[in-house]
Each structure stands twice: as structure tokens, then as C-alpha cells.
Structure 1
Amino acid sequence: MIPALAGSLLIAQLFAMSARADEAVSDATPPWSEQVLGEPIDYDMFAGEPERSLELLIEHGERLFEGKFTAADGAGRPEATQAIVPTKRRRPSAYVFQRMAGLDANSCASCHNVPVSGGAGDFTANVFVSEGFESADFDTIDPQFSNERGTNALQGSGLIEMLAREMTRDLRAQRREALAKARHSGETVTVTLATKGVSFGKLSAKADGTLDVSGLDGIDADLTLRPFGQKGVFASLRQFTVNALNHHHGIQASERFGARWTGTNDFDGDDMPDEVGAGEVSALVAWQASLPAPTRKSDLPEVWQSAAAAGETLFADLGCAACHIPALPLESLIFQDPGPYDNAGTLRPTDVDLPIELDFSQFAWVQALPKDAKGRTLVPLFGDLKRHRIADAARDTLGNELLSQRFVARDVFLTAELWGVGSTAPYGHRGDLTSLHEIIEAHGGEATDARKAYSALDEAERQNMIAFLRSLEIAQ
């Protein structure tokens, strides 16, 4: 059980919204309503009281994630684009739903559903990602207008975000130390940036306080890890959620599209003001963050267990584990919302009196994770939260996009976490590779040597690798 965190008034509101149809409901939303968004959630009722239960917030987040949004909820954005920055269309859309430029989904779970709610998506659930500033109304899958992307699974994402926060903190501390040494010595100081066993290149600090960031590798110049999205462009589940609500559903969060930033409480012009508040976004974040981490299949026949064990050894020997690191250590199990590294347009710690906190140590699935010698929780993600160039002229399948995203090069992608990979076919950023063998053979760029080593294996050894990867699953 998670310690309670809801005030009595909010408890009454949430129970009223979930009441059975034969019960009297005093508020304006009857129990048979098709609306997903009911009475607003007061963020402050959940903040700063970690000894009380977050169960209701998480349950409400699940209801929002799986609900089918209606126009009465604010679905639709006739005058706004799908862009992450509030941007007006050149002309109102003639359609509510438009498969390419959006809206493209009624529900979060309509894409994230393989093998369970919050999971990945089949090719039919692909989305088309464009910054939206110049091509807001594209109605073609031509890659000059957008990048087609498959749906990533969200299981274990709370642990991923906490790892990214700790790694960002470590890298920024190393930057501060280098600047201090440069100022003190009067000479340029060059440091190798690394955290949790992952190297992010070099940074040079000069005596005048300026920085040379040309040697950085796999991270932005601000030293913020952004672990969400296939290009690694979202720092938090909150930023990912606010963006997705607008892009896929046409529902604008006040913290980005409200009067503070846009001068109006109905930026998209659908006559539905202040569509989603901080409390609703926090509920969605809490549910996504608390999704259990993927596991390993425990009921395998002996022949599969033997093959998987051999395949895991090969996985390390071939160099795959250099990027797909089996586990990273996590120091703190307290997830705070909002997080410390978001930009303007996403709720930040300075915008609230106290953050909402989820104590992950109370989750049974977290308690089952191994610890290292220092008592840190080992997160078995099979990833490094770093961007890599994974395509070249000889292997361009994973570098075939025409548009960069958030200034990330076309052939550079975040290392895919492989926990759960046995449950999330098809593969690749476009979801158009049908098997694990195909996605391994598609690797180029920095992964060329490991891919060549895999290709040189005999068929039995390759099957052992597949057996290992297929054993990593999202539990149902």
C-alpha cells in the first residue's frame, strides 16, 4: 500500500466521479457521462504530504489515460497546431481528426496498449512527428513533412526519469567543479563527463567562465538527459504528457497553453477554456511513473532457459551491452512531480509550494529489484539514456528520416531500453521491422562492430541471442 495523500474533499470528488449509475450524484457530471474530465483535481491536495495515500491520484490517472476524450472534454484544436510551442494554424482545420497532423487518437491507450495499457503499439498506431511551425496541415505521409514513429512502452518510466535526473545532477556538478578549478587556476580545465558508468564526452571550462562543449557526446549542451521519445527530446513524463495531450487529442494544458504564456485561456479556439489543469496532468504522470518495470519470463521451458543464458553471455561478449547496459544504479526512490529540469511551459518546482512525491520503495515490484553493494537499486533497463549515431551509408534503415527533431541529427537516436523487448514487436523507430533479427541487422554507425559480430555467428548462436531477448517481457 502507498501511504495516503488525498484530502477528504478530493476523495469525495473522486468517489463521486466513479459512482455507479444507480447512485445519486450531486455534481454536474452524471455517472453515465461520456466525458473523461470531470471535476478539476486540486494539485495542492496531493502536494507535500508523503505519509498519505496517492492511490486515488494514480487511479484517476489510469482513468484519464484509458478514457476516450470527447469534444466536451476539449478534444479538438481547430486553431492550434501539434507543435510543442503554442502555435496557431494558418487556417482552421476542416477536420477534427486527421491521421497525419492530428488529432490522431481518442485515448492515450489507443496507441499504448501492447501487451497491456501503457505499453507499446503496432504499426497501425504510428504517429507523425513534425515541429508543426511550417507544416501544420500536412495530409501526406511523405517524409519531407514529418517523421513516422512507432509507439514506445511506458513501463518502468518512473525509474527511467529518476535515473536521468540523478545523471543530470552528476554531470552538472562536474561542470561546476571544472568551472571552479578554471577560475582558480586561470587555465582551461578539460574534464571527461561520466555518470553511472556512462561517458558523455569531454567539456572544457575556461578561466573567463565560458565553456567549450564541442566534445560532448550523446547529450545536449545544457547537460540535461532527456530520456523520453525515440530521439531523446523530453526531459520528463510531464513534458511528454503535456505535449501528447495537445498533439494527439487537442487538449491543452493550462501550464503551457493558458493565459500565462499565450494571453488567453482558449488558445486553440474550441470554446473550451482551461481544458486540463496541473492536477490532471499530475494524475497522468503518477500513473505512468508507477507502471511496473518489465521483467523476465519465469515460466520458460528448460530448452529456452538454456538458450537464453547462452544468449545473454553472447550479448555481452559481442559488445551489445556497451550501450544496452543491463542495469544502472538508482540512489533515491522518491519521485517528485514537477521535476527539476523542465523548461518554461511545463510546471516547474518554482511554480508550486510543494511537489507531489511518490515513494517507490513502497511498491512491491521495486522491492523485488536487486541492490548493489552500496544499497542502490539496480534498474535493469538494458540502456544508457544516451543518444548514439546508429546508421551510416551501408546501413541507413535507422537513419532514413528527412527531418531533424529538436536539433538532433537524423541518424541519431536514444538507446532503446531493451527490458520488455520480447513484448513489443514490431521494431525500429518506425515500427516496420518485423523481427529482432531484422532490427539487429539494421544497426550501423556506432553499433557496426557489434552488428558485424552478430552477423558472424552461426545460426544456433543467433537463435540463442533471440531467445535471450525474447525472455525480456512486460508482464501481463
Structure 2
Amino acid sequence: MFVVLGALTHSGSAEEDAPTNSRPWDEHVLNEDIDFDALATSNEADIDRLIALGEKLFEGKFTKADGAGRPEATQAIVPTKRRRPVPDTFQRLAGLDANSCASCHNVPVSGGAGDFTANVFVTEGFESADFDTTDPQFSNERGTNALQGAGLIELLAREMTADLRSQRSQAVTKARLSEQPVTADLETKGVSFGVITAAPDGTIDVSRLEGIDYDLTLRPFGQKGVFASLRQFSVNALNHHHGIQASERFGAPWTGTADFDGDDHDDELSPGQVSALVAWQATLPAPTRMADLPEAWANAAKNGEELFSQIGCASCHKPALPLDSLVFEDPNPFENAGTLRPSDVDMPIRIDLGTLDWVKALPKDEMGRTLVPLYADLKRHRIADAARDTLGNELLSQRFVARDVFITAELWGVGSTAPYGHRGDLTTLHEIIDAHGGEATEARKAYSALPEDDRQSVIAFLRSLEIAR
């Protein structure tokens, strides 16, 4: 596998000019960098170097010398100053709450999910992020999602976004030419996102859209489905959890200063270092299925997989979505302002995931597309109601997504990621299935109506979907 790669360089303050990366006892994490400007040279190099740096950054324990801490900044996505100085560096509420990405993402391997003890507290996400209480009026408590297969998920979301926007453009063109309103069903990869109506003047009625933002951008990351890319997810998390600010959002072009958080460390994380983190996450192997199961388990799982579809679970937890291109580009072409965008660089990093053995092993459809077995549809759904409110118990919306609406969870590693639910407070697969309401009510009722042996078969099937160690 190859990537357009810049030079690896040492970074550090003037007083740290000694080559700290030559000391085997060095505690720094941010002592290597990638010069993103060097990408313009179009040199090809083995991607292993890029991934290795990303793994080091993901698993390394950030220190104050790296810039960990944000005494004058909040955890908010939009660079926001605190109302008052933070009393403690680590406080588990508005952060800091971790030294390392792997502090939370570690079940059953690095990059995986996290137990209830790794829960974090998040606000609506923009500016209201300075709080020191667990009162649900001020924050939502969330569990840790697994990142395995995330590169394929982002590629699916990009293709689906492009497809939906193309359908919108076609409707607008038809309306303009016909001088009549044109109604279009929006569907991509077998997933329906509702209906739009384009008027001859170019305006669009989006009132019947389903499970996606009005801009028709699929945002597959986060339990509410509000982050479009691993890059945005990483930049947010680095500030939130570690107090490490990426210069592409917190640097002088956006904030007027190289030290927005006031910890005497300028431009703490470069665009190249963020790209290394993205590359490592994007190439994490997708979850798989347990091999060599006992005969009783194998038979039950086979029956459970059939029942899973029959009772309606697969209408949202789709067994697979087809992917046309396996070339992952960073930055994401649909990236938001405040995160590096294609227009900000001479050329993107390109990683051909199709050269990875675990990707080659995935099945293909009759059109040669890779079938990504994620057991999800990358769409938001209302999954709680008055009768079943466990999954709708948050008081704060996030990025304008209603409190009882969440993106469909990918189940392809669910056998390895207990506990369950967005708060990680449901201990078994039966509990999380039984908690489904809203749009999932009929499927949940069908599951509940099954004989006990058949319900156990569904559980056996789900338990067979694992993140390999």
C-alpha cells in the first residue's frame, strides 16, 4: 500500500532541541511530525511509517510538555474560552478526562470500545462546554464507540453523500427546465432518506427528509451521527479529552493566536500529525466473525441470523452496504470549516485500502463492489418513545439532533463491545434489544414474541460478531 507522504521531522520547543526521540526513556509523545506541505512533491512511500506514527499518537500518553491541558479553553468544538480558570487539570466532567486515546478505546484491542468506567460527558457540542456537574441538564453521558473498520464506514458515507447530492441536483435541474415542482425520492445503497421537492426557482422543500441533515451530508461518527470524518472526530477528541489543540482549528488563522488554550505551547498538533492519526484509524481491520465455534453455538448463530432478518432488525441493521471505491483520501471532500479541507492542501493523502489483506477477504457483489458487513444503514432513527424511554433519556440535543434520535449502531463487532447503549449502562444484548422503541418498536415486539430458544439464537448470532484480538 502506498501513500503520498511528506517528510517525518522532529518537533519541539527551542529549549528541547536535543533529539528527544533518541532517548529510550523519553516521555514525549509529540516528537515527530509530518510536513504536509511536502505532499506537493508527489513522492510515494510505504504507508507503514504513517500508520506507525498514528498508532504512537493514539496510544501515547500525552504530557504537559506535549501541550496536554487547556487551562483557558473549554472542550467545545468551536474554540471557546473558559468563564473562569480550571481548578484541576483532570476533572472527568468537562475534561481533561484521559491521557491517551487508548485510555478509552481499548476493548478488546486498541481502537476498540470502552467499559462504563471510560464514559465521557458531552454537551450540545458547539460552545456550552464549561461545566463541573453531572446534572443531565448540562451534559450527556456517553460510552465509547469502537473504531474498527472506520475507514470503510467513512468511505461509504462519502459515496452516499455524493449520490444524494447528485439526486438533489437532478431534481433542481428538472424543475428549472420543466418550470414545475419536482419531487424526488432520495435513496442510496438501498437506504431511503425520505423525499425532497425542488421548485423551479431552485428552492428545495426538505421537510420530508429522514435521518440526515438538510445539507445531505452523511455524518457516520458519534452516537448521534454528527461527525463526517475521522479527522473531525479526532480534532474534537484531542481537545476535549487531552487538551491537545490541532493548529488547523485552534491556531492563528481561526483564533488569532497560536496558543488559544493558554498553556504556553503553540500549535500543539500539526495537520500532518492529525493525518497520521486518521491513517491509523482508517486502516484498522473491520470486525469479523468468531471462528471454530462449538457446534451448538454455530447452529444457534445460523438460526439467529435468519431470525434477525425475519423479525425486522435488518431493516436498519443492514447486513452489508456496497462500496465502489476503496481509495481513502484525507482530508475528507465534505469536511467542515475548522478542520483541514482539500482546498487547504496541494494534494490529499491517498490510501488504497484495497491492498490490505483483510479488505481483500471481504465479499463482492455482482458489480464487483466490496460488501462492507457493518450491520447498519448510516442513518439516524428515533429509537425511543413513551413506552420505551431508556434510549431517549438525554436532556440535551446534540447538533440539533433530537434527544431520542441516534444513528444506527454498527453491529459488526457487537460481541466484543459490552456494555451497550449510548451510555454503556445496559449489560446484556437482551437488555439493549428490549430497550428499543420508536421506529424499532415492531422489530422489538417480534423479538419479544419469539420462543426463548429463538431469542437465544439471536443472541448467539450477535455474540459471534467480534473484533478480532
TM-score (norm 1): 0.95
Q: Secondary structure at the match of 1:215?
A: strand
Question: For 1:396-452, what per-residue CA distance to the aligned partner results, in whole angstroms no more than 9, with x for missing partners?
Answer: 000000000000000000000000000000000000000000000000000000000
Q: Which residue in 1 is equivalent to 2:199?
A: 206
Superposition pairs of residues 123-134 of structure 1, within 5 angstroms:
123-131=116-124
**Cα RMSD between the aligned structures?**
1.7
Does residue 266 (structure 1) correspond to residue 265 (structure 2)? The answer is: no
Give, in angstroms, the shift of residue 46 of structure 1: 4.9
The alpha carbon displacement at 1:33 in A equals 1.5
How far apart are 1:292 and its partner, in Å?
0.2
CA shift for structure 1 position 131: 3.5
Amino acid in structure 2 at the alignment position of 1:191:
A
CA distance in 1, matches of 2:3, 2:301: 42
| Matched residue, 2:440 | 447
Structure 1 residues 207 and 305: alpha-carbon distance in aligned structure 2, compared to 1, 3 A threshold: same
**1:273-319 deviation digits (Å, cap 9, x = unpaired):** 10001000000000000000000001101111100000000000000
**Residues 5, 44 of structure 2: 8 Å contact kept:** no
- Give 1:182's match in structure 2, choosing from 175, 178, 191: 175
The equivalent residue for 1:27 is 19
1:354 and 1:46 mapped to 2: Cα distance? 7
User: Which amino acid in structure 2 is aligned with residue 27 of structure 1?
Assistant: P
CA distance in 2, matches of 1:145, 1:48: 48
SS at match of 1:204: strand
CA distance 1:314–1:180, shift in 2 (3 Å): same
- 1:332 equivalenced with 2:333 (yes/no): no
Change (3 A) 1:48 1:450: farther
Alpha-carbon distance in structure 2 between the residues aligned to 1:127 and 1:280: 24
Shift of residue 470, structure 1, vs aligned partner: 0.2
- Distance change >3 Å, CA 47–CA 373, structure 1 → 2: farther
What is the alpha-carbon distance in structure 2 between the residues aligned to residue 170 and residue 132 of structure 1? Answer: 28
1:111–1:320 Cα change, 3 Å? same
Aligned mate of 1:194, from 179, 187, 194: 187
Q: Secondary structure at the match of 1:429?
A: coil
Residue 376 of structure 2 is aligned to residue 377 of structure 1: no
Alignment map for 1:211-222 (pairs within 5 Å): 211-222=204-215
Contact 1:81–1:132, Cα closer than 8 Å, also in 2 = no
**Structure 2 match to 1:346:** 339
Structure 2 match to 1:310: 303
- Measured in 1, the distance between the counterparts of 2:275 and 2:131 equals 32
C-alpha deviation, 1:52, in angstroms: 2.7
Corresponding residue number in structure 2 for 1:38: 31
Displacement, 1:460? 0.3
Query: Cα 1:74–1:323, aligned 2, differ >3 Å: closer, same or farther?
Result: same
Q: Deviations over 1:28-69 (max 9, x none)?
A: 544222110013321234567484311101000000000000
Aligned-residue offset at 1:227 = 0.1
Match of 1:467 in 2: 460
Kindly report which structure 2 residues correspond to 1:379-394, keeping only aligned pairs within 5 A, or say none. 379-394=372-387
Q: Is the 8 A contact 1:103 1:248 kept in 2?
A: yes
Cα pair 2:391 2:436 within 8 Å, conserved: yes
| Pair 168,75 (structure 1): closer, same or farther in 2 beyond 3 Å | same
Deviation beyond 4 Å, 4+ runs, structure 1: 4-7, 46-51, 132-135
8 Å CA contact 2:172–2:202 kept in 1: the answer is: yes
**Counterpart code for 1:3:** F
The separation in 2 between residues aligned to 1:167 and 1:433, in whole angstroms, is 32
Alignment partners' CA distance in 1, 2:146 and 2:417: 8
| Alpha-carbon distance, 1:136 to partner | 3.5
Residues 407 and 133 of structure 1: CA distance in aligned 2, closer, same or farther (over 3 Å):
closer
Partner residue of 2:110? 117
SS at match of 2:248: helix
Q: What SS does structure 2 have at the residue aligned with 1:52?
A: strand
Summarize deviations over 1:68-126 as a string: whole Å, max 9, x none.
00011110001111010011111110111111110000000000000000000000000
CA distance in 2, matches of 1:133, 1:221: 18
Paired residue secondary structure (2:381) = strand
Q: CA–CA distance in 2 between the matches of 1:47 and 1:219?
A: 35
Checking the alignment, whether the CA contact within 8 Å between 2:59 and 2:101 is kept in structure 1 is yes
| Cα distance, 1:6 vs structure 2 | 4.3
Distance 2:32 2:47 in 1: 18
Question: With structure 2 as the length reference, what TM-score do the two structures score?
Answer: 0.96
Residue 138 of structure 1 pairs with residue 131 of structure 2: yes
Secondary structure of the corresponding residue to residue 192 of structure 2: strand
**Contact 2:3 2:351 (8 Å CA) reproduced:** no
**Residue aligned with 1:346, SS:** coil
Partners of 1:135 and 1:152 lie apart in 2 by 23
The corresponding residue for 2:400 is: 407
Establish whether residue 223 from structure 1 lines up as the match of residue 216 from structure 2: yes
Decide which of 286, 289, 300 is 2:293's aligned counterpart: 300
In structure 1, the residue corresponding to 2:193 is in which secondary structure? strand
- C-alpha separation in 2, matches of 1:328 and 1:121: 26
Equivalence for 1:21: none
Q: CA shift at 1:141, angstroms?
A: 1.4
Q: 1:371 Cα deviation (Å)?
A: 0.3
Q: 1:420 to 1:47 in 2, by over 3 A?
A: farther
Distance in structure 2 (CA, Å) of the matches to 1:165 and 1:317: 30
1:368–1:29: structure 2 CA closer, same or farther, 3 Å change rule? closer
- Return 5+ residue gaps in structure 1 as ranges: 18-24
Q: Deviations over 1:334-379 (max 9, x none)?
A: 0000011111100000000000010011100000000000000000
Cα distance in structure 2, aligned partners of 1:50 and 1:405: 41
Give, in whole Å, the separation in 2 of the partners of 1:86 and 1:348: 18
SS in 1 for 2:197: strand
Give the counterpart of 1:99 among 92, 105, 109: 92
Matched residues in 2 for 1:50 and 1:317: separation?
51
**1:84, 1:131 within 8 Å by CA — same for their partners in 2?**
no
State which drifts further: 318-327 or 51-60: 51-60
Distance in 2 (CA, whole Å) between partners of 1:418 and 1:208 is 43
1:254–1:278 contact (8 Å) kept in structure 2: yes
Distance 1:50 1:248, change over 3 A: same
The aligned amino acid for 2:448 is S
Distance 1:126 1:173 in 2: 39
In structure 2, the partner of 1:398 is 391
Letter in 1 for 2:294: P
